[in-house]
Amino acid sequence: MDIKLLVLDVDGTLLNSNREMSERTVKTLKKVQQNGVRVALATGRPTYGVLPFAKAIDLDFNDGFIISYNGAKVLEASTGKAIFERTIDPKMVPYLEKQAERSGCALAFYENDEVVATDTNNPHIVDEAQMNNMALRHVDSIAEAMAHLEDDKNTWPTEVILVNDDEQILTGLEEHLQRHLNGVMDTIHSNPYYLEVVGYQVGKSHAMSALVQKLGISMKEVMALGDGRADINMLQMAGMGIAMGNAPEEVKRCADYTTLSNDEDGAALAIERAFEEEHEKPEDDQEVPVDVLNAQNKNTLMGALGMQYTFASPHRVEATMPVDGRTRQPFGILAGGASLALAETLAGLGSMIACKPGEMAVGMQVSGNHVSSAHDGDTVRGVATPVHLGRSSHVWNVQIFTSTGKLVSSVTVTNSIMSKR
């Protein structure tokens, strides 16, 4: 099995009990992405609440994905573009409001960076807003608060949350709604005090299927990790489904195996073990120590321009370069020539590493598109990945970003592969 997509739940899986990612988890996820595996974070949180974690693991730089609202929306992390989305027609909300009133439930939904709720003193709703760093807004009626959304489908909500401390009330309400909304909307009982009403056929497994179809891969090439009931179908569907040690028994029974808990770096451990087995590399394909490379560049053009390698392998090379007096134009922005020098350096090193014994790489052609600017005082980051590694030539794509992730230049570098004399 060759893993091409890694899908992780967030709370209870990616995050520990303090709602933090460990250094080991961050390092592990960055490394698997550098080796070409796509990563998707799949969560019941709103998109706004998962963005900081996506950024921390460089999901935007590595063409990763965010699956939010328990699968109601799938976004490209680099562009924010939705590739899958299921929403709720606001005209259905008055019915939900009636059921909530009869059951004594508070109601809430997400709008932009706000949690809009009928009870802003409810501790679970307050915690939800704080956890996602979102503002709280009180309304007397959720249906009335959504009325202005009815004419624009692009603003329709992805879910309505019913909140109650009595799980039996929510369970009974879930059974009622499933009978009366079958084929129109679905429910997700994600934890003891939340019942989420979502669009029809919404779930992490449905979102994962849409993502697999977009990437042109099979479910056998997917590894999924989770800890909650909302993760069960996702774990069952993936080629490799892994339950966290802190998951309830009903979740563990649905997984291929169970790792350690989220407070014991269980996710990082499972990923490391899987990729040690599935992506074992031959000796000449290992990551190259960048401290040795940087020391060798001290008295070269690379050293003179302040370039520093941060990662190097035959399949990906990265480096940084400051925008300062050595690399800027007179009016304070990064010189195009310096960008091309960084691109040629990255592609050249990549080809050198990828060359077979007795071969050498010689630069043949470079073509760059400068799409935006980087300013004095910034540090740009170059990422080189191979497009073609042939017997006589290598073609590399090099993208250069500002420190905030804005694309500065996209460069194609062609190297000729020759025999050493």
Predicted local distance difference test score (pLDDT) of residue 221: 94
Beta strands 222-226 and 5-9: pairing type?
parallel
CATH architecture of the region 5-85+203-278: 3-Layer(aba) Sandwich (3.40)
DSSP class of residue 103 equals: H
- From 238, 236, 196, select the one nearest 105 (Cα to Cα): 196
- Are the CB atoms for 373 and 312 separated by under 8 Å? no
* Residue ranges of the chain that CATH labels 3.10.129.10: 284-419
Predicted local distance difference test score (pLDDT) of residue 296: 83
- Are the CB atoms for 217 and 11 separated by under 8 Å? no
- From 373, 396, 210, select the one nearest 318 (Cα to Cα): 396
Predicted local distance difference test score (pLDDT) of residue 281: 44
Strand order in the sheet with 135-138: 135-138, 114-117, 106-111, 159-163, 194-199, 185-191
Amino acid in the structure at residue 332:
G
Amino acid in the structure at residue 416:
S
* CATH class of segment(s) 90-199: alpha beta
CATH of region 284-419, choose from 3.10.129.10, 1.10.260.40, 2.40.50.140, 3.10.20.310:
3.10.129.10
Spans of the chain below 50 pLDDT: 279-285
Amino acid in the structure at residue 61:
F
pLDDT digits (tens, 9 = 90+) for 111-161: 889 999 999 999 999 999 999 999 999 999 988 888 877 777 777 888 899
Q: What angle do CA 244, 20, 401 make, to 5 degrees?
A: 110
| Global model pTM greater than 0.85 | no
The residue annotated as part of the active site, out of 97, 196, 318, 344, is: 344
389: three-class secondary structure by DSSP: strand
* Residue ranges of the chain that CATH labels 3.30.1240.10: 90-199
Neighbouring residues of 158: CB distance < 8 A, sequence distance ≥ 6: 46, 68, 69, 72, 73, 85, 86, 87, 88, 110, 198, 199, 202
* Residue ranges of the chain that CATH labels 3.40.50.1000: 5-85+203-278
Give me the residue label for tokens 């909500």. Answer: 157
Predicted local distance difference test score (pLDDT) of residue 285: 47
Mark whether 344 is an active-site residue. Answer: yes
- Are the CB atoms for 13 and 6 separated by under 8 Å? no
